[in-house]
Amino acid sequence: MRRLIAVLVASLLALVVSTGVAAAHAKLESMTPADGSSMAAPPTQVVLTFSEPVGSNGTQVQVKSPSGKNVATGDVQVLDNKVTQPVGAMIEAGRYQVDARLVSADGHPITVTGSFTVTHAGHPATQPAGTTPTADSGNSNTVTIVAMCLVMLVVVALAVVIVRRRPASQ
Please tell me the total count of domains within the chain. Answer: 1
Across 50-64, 128-142, 155-169, which has the greatest mean pLDDT?
50-64
Q: What is the CATH number of the domain that holds 99?
A: 2.60.40.1220
The pTM score is: 0.59
According to DSSP, the β-strands at 28-32 and 132-133 are antiparallel
Degrees to nearest 5, angle at CA 138 with 69 and 97: 20
Asked if 31 and 114 touch (Cβ cutoff 8 Å), the reply is: yes
CA 42 – CA 150 distance, rounded (Å):
49
- Specify if 107 maps to a domain: yes
What average pLDDT is seen over the chain?
80
Burial 67-102 (b: 16+ CB within 10 A, else e): eeeebbeeebebeebbbbbbbbebebbeebebbbeb
Q: Which domain holds residue 91?
A: 26-125
Nearest to 138 by CA among 54, 18, 44, 15: 54
Over range 96-124, report the average pLDDT: 86
The model's pLDDT over 10-56, given as tens digits with 9 standing for 90+, comes to 877 777 766 554 446 788 999 999 999 999 989 999 999 999 888 88
